[in-house]
Amino acid sequence: MELRIKPHHQNAWPLNGILIRGGSLVQWLTELNLMGIHLNQADVFPVPGNTANSVYGCVVVSNVKVLDIGRNQYLQSVNGLVYIPERSCLFPSVTEAELRKLTSDKKLVFHPDFGLVELGQKILWEVYIEAPLLIPHRVDSPVPGIRIPGSIKSFQVSCPPPEEVIKSLENESFPQKENEEIKPLNLFEKAKLEAYKLLFSKEKPEGKGGAVQKPILSGLAAFSKSIFGKDESWTENLKEDFEELEFRNQNQVDRLLDFLKNNPEEALKYAIPLDERGVTRGESTPAGMGWAKRWLDFSLTAGSSVSGGSGNVYIGDKFYQLQAQYQQTALDLIKKKEYEKAAFIYLKLLKNYLKAAETLEEGNLYAEAAAIYIKHCLNKGKAAACYEKGRMYAEAIEIYKELNENEKVGDLYLELQNRVEAMHYFEKVVDAYSQKHQYVKAALLSKNKMQNIEAAQTLLLQGWRSDRDSFNCLNNYFNNIKDIKTLKTEISNIYSTEVQVKDQELFLQVIKHEYNKQNELTNFILDIAYKIISERLSVNPQIVSELPSFNKKDRELVRDTIRFSAGS
């Protein structure tokens, strides 16, 4: 029996060998080191050359998975007896028993360059390598210098823990002020207010301002000026005193509502928190409410309250009116781009934690928004997205790892130029897609993010062979091949070796997509299409309706196929 090696489009046996060309031990050791193969992880056999006393190279037999073999060549292990080049096959085919008989159970290497050679005695490295004499020495390392990069490839923002982020807001918006209380009117002040009402009317009922002199006061002012020669400034003093007394005399909730409309920043320091159930906290008696400052500033920390929140407050049917005013005030502050103050209202007064976080996110306060998403909303996904927007990649990566969002982890490692870690997490995603038979998704990730087109093609072929989204797998497989000659070879090989009878019509749909590209392969694909249609015609007469797709300019063919289908 004469054995020969013939080229083949795929490997039929495992790649357990590597052929290193060159006759130098130093060269072999260098190549092993570059491939990451330790000497105790492989058996190395020298291979003679075609001339006497010459060495062609060596064969490395190892089970170590090598990511990059460089300029060397993979060898297939045929039943562990004969090593042949990758993408080749033995001709004629032999069984393992026949192969053992031919080789006498000896390991051989069969290669077009040097023929069939027995792998005899493996190299004993201890004979050729002498361990260097170790000389103890001391190394003094210099202090690391400062290196100025030529270009910035990536950057990220460092972020403290969420608790510290929220706490840091305490004194940023407003300085703390001493507590002050607006006292109710005493008897004398009430009497003075009644007297002022004879002189002033209030056309604008909301808050301070808007008092208008009555005719009686205007007459007194004119009389005073004519008799005593005084100006009218004394009437302004009376007006200010009246407005102050009128403001202090208002109902506390009405006063707060008016104050919110006219001076929201100051009024919010007196604001009453409303809880998430639609009621204020405290007893059901109005006597509990005092007009005192409840907030030192507009920070988002719990410790900024003067009086511990709302205290004992009862506001009765004013609740919804006050809630609506809070919401309107928050919207007004957002329009002014004062996002922290608006967030203060949502978080502390309305107890709407989600809206508070969304407001901070809208204002690009990503660290603060993320802290509230984590602490109050328990939404780590939104927090991670905020960290990502704020380029706080370390915090985002930790959360995405916890959420098993491995593709996002890989994306962020790429942003940090850490390709090794990115590939590790992308590989996890590819494995997960493969286990779910989502081969197209796995291939797209391998191709676009891992830049591994060979792995992508292997996954797509696996999807085709396993009947998992076969059309899209094979369609993407052909679409990834940009060289026309290679594409022609692959279409031919797959049609002859991979397409079974049950796959013919599906394969026809795939090559129809390639045919529509109208390139040099048009006639080649047309021949295959005609062959498939003729073979399937007796089983499925309706397949004749595919002919017009390959002959769009032939109108008579369309009519013929319609008549044929109707007659069948």
The Cα 177–Cα 116 span in angstroms is: 94
The residue among 433, 458, 480 that closes a domain is 480
Q: How many CB atoms lie within 10 A of CB 238?
A: 17
Q: Answer whether residue 307 is part of any domain.
A: yes
- Residue (of 480, 486, 538, 537) closest to 508 by Cα position: 537
Q: What is the pLDDT at residue 91?
A: 87
* Bridge pairing between strands 88-91 and 73-78: unpaired
pLDDT greater than 70 at residue 263: no
Question: At 18, is the secondary structure helix, strand, or coil?
Answer: strand
Give residue 272's Cα distance to chain centre. 40
Compare 513 and 236 and report the one with higher pLDDT: 513
Helix ranges restricted to H, 197-271 = 215-228, 233-249, 252-262, 264-267
Distances (CA, A) of 15 to 30, 63, 85, 258, 407: 21, 9, 9, 83, 30
Q: What is the pLDDT at residue 542?
A: 83
Please tell me whether residues 222 and 347 are part of one structural domain.
yes
Please tell me whether residues 475 and 496 are part of one structural domain.
no
The residue among 437, 452, 480 that closes a domain is 480
Q: What is the pLDDT at residue 108?
A: 92
* Bridge pairing between strands 15-21 and 115-118: unpaired
Q: For the domain that residue 476 is a member of, what is the CATH number? A: 1.25.40
pLDDT greater than 50 at residue 174: no
Please tell me whether residues 459 and 496 are part of one structural domain.
no
Please tell me whether residues 497 and 473 are part of one structural domain.
no
Q: List the Cα angle 256/258/260 in 5-degree steps.
A: 65
Residue with tokens 């370390």, as numbered in its chain: 394
- Supply the range of the domain harboring residue 445: 404-480
Q: Answer whether residue 395 is part of any domain.
A: no
8 Å CB contact between 459 and 469: no
pLDDT greater than 80 at residue 508: yes
Q: What is the pLDDT at residue 366?
A: 92
8 Å CB contact between 54 and 16: no
- Residue (of 477, 481, 473, 409) closest to 437 by Cα position: 473
Please tell me whether residues 194 and 327 are part of one structural domain.
yes
Q: Provide the β-strand partners of residue 90.
A: 5
The Cα 411–Cα 417 span in angstroms is: 10
Q: Answer whether residue 70 is part of any domain.
A: yes
Torsion of Cα atoms, 259 then 264 then 267 then 272, to 10° = 100
The Cα 493–Cα 499 span in angstroms is: 9
Please tell me whether residues 316 and 340 are part of one structural domain.
yes
Please tell me whether residues 79 and 36 are part of one structural domain.
yes
The Cα 340–Cα 331 span in angstroms is: 12
> Quick one: tokens of 93?
């085919």
Residue with tokens 């054995």, as numbered in its chain: 3
Please tell me whether residues 324 and 210 are part of one structural domain.
yes
Distances (CA, A) of 410 to 402, 415, 438: 14, 9, 19
Q: Answer whether residue 171 is part of any domain.
A: no
pLDDT tens for each residue of 344-381: 888 888 889 999 999 999 999 999 999 999 999 999 99
The residue among 435, 460, 480 that closes a domain is 480
Lowest mean pLDDT of 144-148, 269-273, 301-305, name the range. Answer: 301-305
Q: What is the pLDDT at residue 558?
A: 62
Please tell me whether residues 303 and 427 are part of one structural domain.
no
Question: At 145, is the secondary structure helix, strand, or coil?
Answer: coil
Q: Answer whether residue 156 is part of any domain.
A: no
Please tell me whether residues 430 and 467 are part of one structural domain.
yes
Q: What is the pLDDT at residue 235?
A: 73
Question: At 275, is the secondary structure helix, strand, or coil?
Answer: coil
The Cα 445–Cα 431 span in angstroms is: 11
Q: Answer whether residue 10 is part of any domain.
A: yes
8 Å CB contact between 343 and 351: no
For the chain, how far is it from start to end, CA to CA, in angstroms?
Answer: 53
Helix ranges restricted to H, 403-483 = 406-415, 419-435, 439-448, 453-465, 470-479
The Cα 262–Cα 333 span in angstroms is: 13
> Quick one: tokens of 103?
């080789």
Q: What is the pLDDT at residue 237?
A: 76
Q: How many domains does the chain have?
A: 4
- Residue (of 445, 424, 423) closest to 434 by Cα position: 445
pTM here? Answer: 0.55
Q: Answer whether residue 359 is part of any domain.
A: no
Q: Answer whether residue 511 is part of any domain.
A: yes
pLDDT greater than 70 at residue 226: no
Mean pLDDT of the chain: 80
Residue 392, Cβ density class (10 Å: 0-12 exposed, 13-18 middle, ≥19 buried): buried
Compare 52 and 561 and report the one with higher pLDDT: 52
Please tell me whether residues 562 and 536 are part of one structural domain.
yes
Please tell me whether residues 310 and 197 are part of one structural domain.
yes
Backbone dihedral region of 391: left (phi > 0), alpha (psi from -120 to 50 degrees) or beta? left
Nearest-Å Rg of the Cα atoms of the chain is: 42
The Cα 47–Cα 44 span in angstroms is: 10
pLDDT tens for each residue of 538-555: 888 888 888 778 877 666
